[in-house]
Every structure is written in C-alpha cells, then in structure tokens.
A and B are shown apart, each in its own frame.
Chain A
C-alpha cells in the first residue's frame, strides 16, 4: 500500500514529467475567459463556443506534448508500475489542469461579464472537459497505435476541425457532451490497453 506522502511525491514528479504545458493550460483558460468577457455581448456569444473548443484542442495538444515527452519506456517496463498506469497518472495531471483551465476561464467570465455569464460559464467548463476528453482520447489512441506524436497531433487537429465546424455546430449540447465524454473515455481506455503490450511499447521506444 503506497503511503500518502509517497503518492503526493510521485504525482509531483509526474506533473513535472508533463512539462510546462500543463502549467500553461490554466493560464490560457483564464486568458481566454478574460478576453471573451471583455467582448461586446454580441461578439461574446459568437466567440464563447469557439473559445471553449479551442481550449479543449489546447488541452488535447497538451496530452500530445506529455506523451511526446515519455522516455525510458524500456526501463519503465521493467519497473513495478505498469506503463498504462504511468501514462494514466500523467493524463490525470492534464485532466486536473484542464479542469482548472475551464474553471479559471469560467471565473474570469463571471467576474468580467457578471452573473449573466455564470450559467453559461459553468456549462462551458463542462463542454471544455467533454470535448477535451474526446480529443485527448483521439490523441492517446493514435499515439499508442502508431507510435508517433506527429500522427497524434495530426489526427486530433483533423477531428477537432470536424468537431468544431460540423459536429458542435449541428448537434445540441445535451447530446454533444455525453457523446464526446463516452467516446473519449472509450478511446482513452483502448489507448491505455494497447500500452499493456510490451512489444508495441518497445517498438515505440525504438523508433
């Protein structure tokens, strides 16, 4: 049984392994929220959805950055902590950072636009998380399947374009969010599962 202090120390290490991206994400969230709250109301509604979607894309690109920084996989395979658990811990750090980014954006919006924006902001934070789950799932699955951070970013940007320009524009949020969350969870699970295959992980290391 791992002690609490060891868990905290480990998560601190893992958050450092994630790089600067996870620290920049909440700042970006607050900046986006602040910028949107400063808009005239007619522009705000138009840009709000685009901002949430961009934030989700940024979070998924953070996932790619985190995955791209993964090193020493052969050594990790020889350690008691399985590689999927290691990757999942790092994704959890990004998830927390994304949630903080969403909250920071929402807070900035509430402070900037008053209570008028509060409800929309809360709903927006949920949208960011659900969309980020889908895009992160695409990124993780592609990375795990094809051993390439470049392929992962290419795939996630393609999916994001489809999501932003087609899916989110036509599907009501009540359907959009749960579908994205479920699809994302499924892809993340599939991606992590493929990391249980040591041959595949080693192939990634050797590329």
Chain B
C-alpha cells in the first residue's frame, strides 16, 4: 500500500515536471500532428467504426512510440545527473515504485497530445460512419493498441538512456522499433521478433477487439512464439507479453539506477 502511495506521489510530481518541460511538448506536439496526417488518411469511413478505430491505432504506431521514446529517453537519467538520485536513495522509498512513477508520470503527459488526437479522430470516425459510439472505440483502440506500445518503447528508451548516452539512446530506439515491429525478413533475412506474440506491434489486440487483418502476426520466425491471431486469447497473450517485457526493462533500469 505504501509502495502504491509512493508511486502515485512520484507519478504526480513527475507528471507536473514533464508538463512544465518544453522538451516533452516540443517533441510530442509535432509527432501528434504528423499522426493526424497519417490518421486521417486511413479513415475511409467505409467500414465499421470499430474497424476504423483499430486501423487508426495501428497507423499511429508507425510514429507515436518513437516520439514517446525520443522524449522520455532522459527521464531516468535526469535524476542521476542532477544529484536527485542520491537524495532519493537516502529516503525510505521503494525503488521500483520510484522508477515506475518517474516513467509513468512523464508518459502520461507525453501521451496527452496523442489522446487529444485520438479524440478528434474518434469524432471524425463518428461523423464518417454515423456511429455515435465511435469515440469509445477510438479510446479503446488507444488503450489496447497504442498505450502498450508506448509503455514498451518508453521503458526501452529509458533503459537505453541509462546504459548509453541519451542522444545515442534516442537514435537507437528508432531502428530497434522498426526492427522489432516492421522488419520484412522475407526481403532480407535477419533474426527479428516481428510477427511473434512478444512485440507491441498492436496487431494481435487490433485483430482481437477491432477486427483488423494482421500483416505479420502469426508469421514470426519461431512458430511456437507466433500463434495465429485468434481473438481475445492471443490478444491478451500479446498484451501480457508486452507488459512482461516492459516490466523486465523497468527492472533492469531500476538495477542500473541503483549502481
């Protein structure tokens, strides 16, 4: 209970600091505007609102997680350089709660412009399809497809930011994301988790709850890690794997912070 209270307090203050940081807005607002350009292009309005919402969320995944990673790569390192880390180490706090809170608070602010964009796109879907529930589908697509991917890349970037220089981490996360999610191994064979249940490409949840047609899901290089998308079961399995991967990265980040 105490850990949760600590995490909540850290989330609150990290969010406040992130909201006052120009870097977060300067990075995320253009990315969201770019997302708007791509998002609008996918909204044909010909299919159901549910399908449109899923397709829109999958489109946002091409750019939004990279923006999030670029903006949050320095979040865990910041406290090290300012001496705040040493100060926090002297306090009776739960280290994991602090790490989760530091990332969670900043992530919440970084995703605020994306959420606003999703709301707008939800309204557009509602107008085009005539389905008044479309904004709810858009919100669900954000929560089940966009959010897990962003949490995953935020943790990856923050971990890389602790291990390497922040600038290098910002760069590396771009090829890593595209390698993990979009690498076409039939064109050039390279070991990649593309198509497996491990990666946050959003294809499994989008197929499970929004009825989209996956491109890669189920066609990974390891059959036992690439079940054919089959509704909620594979959707949930994918979300669990993504969350587990995130937890692993956060755990590593916590260990590195303690060093």
Contacts and interface: CB of A to CB of B under 8 A. Distances in A.
Contacts of B170: 61, 153, 157
A57 B30 contact: no
A68 B168 CA distance: 12
Interface string B54-91: 00000000110011001101100000000000000000
Interface residues of A, number: 31
A3 B21 CA distance: 45
Contacts of A82: none
A22 interface: no
Interface string B128-168: 00000000000000000000000000000000000001111
A165 B64 CA distance: 13
A199 B73 CA distance: 29
A57 B171 contact: yes
Interface residues of B, number: 30
Nearest to B37: A166
A157 B66 contact: yes
A161 B34 contact: yes
Interface of A: 21, 39-40, 42-43, 46-47, 54, 57-58, 61-62, 64-65, 68, 142, 146, 148-151, 153-155, 157-159, 161-162, 165-166
Given A153-B70, A157-B70, 17 more contacts: A39-B188, A54-B175, A57-B174, A61-B167, A142-B26, A148-B23, A150-B23, A150-B27, A151-B23, A151-B27, A154-B26, A154-B27, A154-B67, A155-B27, A161-B66, A162-B34, A165-B63
Interface of B: 21-24, 26-28, 30-31, 34, 37-38, 62-63, 66-67, 70-71, 73-74, 165-168, 170-171, 174-175, 187-188
11 contacts: A61-B170, A65-B167, A146-B26, A150-B21, A151-B27, A153-B170, A154-B26, A154-B27, A157-B27, A157-B66, A157-B70
